[in-house]
Amino acid sequence: MSRFDCIDTPLNGLKVIQRKAIEDDRGFLSRIFCAEAFAEYGFKKTINQINQTLTRQKGSVRGLHYQLPPHAEIKFVSCIKGEVLDIAVDLRKDSPTFLQWYGEILSESNRRSLLIPEGFAHGFQTLADNCEMLYLHSAPYVKEAEAAMNISDPKLAIKLPLTITDRSERDASHPMINNNFEGIVV
């Protein structure tokens, strides 16, 4: 029996992973990651880093972040407490879905995750207070490879469900896309 369902999204390579729980009167067991299964879904690299975040205020925004090649990374993102709208934007040069975005509600109760391939920017908006996220990364963070986009960029036309209540000064000051941006090659 598979512990996961893998659901394709309109953006090639971006997957929603539905974690299946085994439940009884005591509670549940839910597998977060399985290298064998995830290789079939596109996560064919080793996990190099695991990060956890806490975002306290409902309506807060983090992102949109990515790392430039050769430090591009696959991310596997789960909400382990609360609820978020998780967003991925296709930045792959020559992709038929270049600069298109996809959003998925991730929550502790729906046990959904996003498997985000290299060449995507990632961010989220919290839909509850005290949201905790768990990130599995295929590459270590490299400050010199860090890049970002502004989630409010009209060219992306991301529809957030709530008014932004909080975001870092850094995230608010990320640049808008200029006409010379051709994407990234991964």
Q: Give CA separation, 113 vs 11, 65, 178, in Å.
A: 15, 17, 31
List the catalytic residue out of 135, 137, 141, 174.
135
If phi over 0 gives left and psi between -120 and 50 gives alpha, with beta otherwise, what is residue 119? left
65 catalytically annotated: yes
Closest CA to 34 of 49, 48, 19: 19
Catalytic-role residue among 65, 122, 141, 174: 65
**CA 164 – CA 100 distance, rounded (Å):** 21
Question: Residue 37: which H helix or E strand, with range?
Answer: helix 35-41
Known catalytic residue: 141?
no
What residues are annotated to the active site? Answer: 65, 135
